[in-house]
Amino acid sequence: MMDNNKVKKVIENINKLAENTHQDNINLMEVCGTHTNSIAKSGIKSVISNKIKLLSGPGCPVCVTSEEYIDAAVDLASEGITIITFGDLVRVKGYNCDLLTEKSKGRDVRIIYSVSEIINIAKEIYPKEAVFLAVGFETTAPLIASLVNQTYIGKIKNLSFLTSIKIMPPILEKILNIQNRNIDGIICPGNVAVISGEDSFKFIYEKYKIPSVICGFEAEDILGGIYFLVRNISKKNRGRNEAGFENLYKRLVSPKGNTIAKRLVQEIFKIDDVIWRGIGNVKGSALIIGNKYSKLDAINRFKLKGYFNNHTISRSECRCGDVLMGNIYPFQCELFKKKCSPENPHGPCMVSQEGTCSTYYKYYL
User: What CATH number does the domain located at 67-168+257-309 have?
Assistant: 3.40.50.11740
Determine what percent of the chain is predicted with pLDDT higher than 90.
Answer: 89
The count of residues in the chain is 365
- The boundaries of every CATH 3.40.50.11750 domain in the chain are 4-58+174-247
Q: Are 120 and 112 in contact (CB under 8 A)?
A: no
Q: What is the CATH number of domain 4-58+174-247?
A: 3.40.50.11750
Sign of CA dihedral 81, 82, 86, 87: positive
pLDDT at 242: 81
Q: Tens digits of per-residue pLDDT, 117-159?
A: 999 999 999 999 999 999 999 999 999 999 999 999 999 999 9
pLDDT of amino acid 240: 83
Residue ranges of the chain whose pLDDT lies below 50: none
Portions of the chain given CATH number 3.40.50.11740:
67-168+257-309
pTM attached to this predicted model: 0.93
